[in-house]
A = this chain, B = another copy of it.
Amino acid sequence: MNMLFKALNDPTRRQMLDLLRAGDLTAGEIADQFAMTKPSISHHLDLLRQAGLVDSVKEGQFIRYTLNTTVLDEMLSWLMSFKGSAVHNSSPPVDPPQP
């Protein structure tokens, strides 16, 4: 899960994923949305690809990036397990009612 958390630990990359929700985009179309050079964009896309969050397909001169959310499953279940397995160590907030 390390690569996954690393990939998501950047606002630019998270925004890229948000953009891709509406549909596939080429590297250039993605770059147009950010105030950043194309090599930087390329590097971010590479990290997302390494994490498995996007797939890339060359189409002629362009490279089309597609969102791939399957890798999120592991992270999602890890996070959700926290919402279920909470342990209550603190004292109860009130005394139980006396009969």
Please report A residues at the B interface, Cβ cutoff 8 Å: 1-2, 5-6, 8-9, 11, 14, 17, 21-24, 66-67, 69, 72, 75-76, 79-80, 82-83, 85-87, 89-90
Question: B89 contacts A82, CB within 8 Å?
Answer: no
Question: B5 contacts A87, CB within 8 Å?
Answer: no
CB distance from A48 to the nearest CB of B (A): 13
Chain B: CB-nearest residue to A22:
B87
Question: B86 contacts A69, CB within 8 Å?
Answer: yes
Q: Which of B11, B24, B69, B90 contacts A2 (CB 8 A)?
A: B11
Question: A86 contacts B72, CB within 8 Å?
Answer: no
CB distance from A36 to the nearest CB of B (A): 17
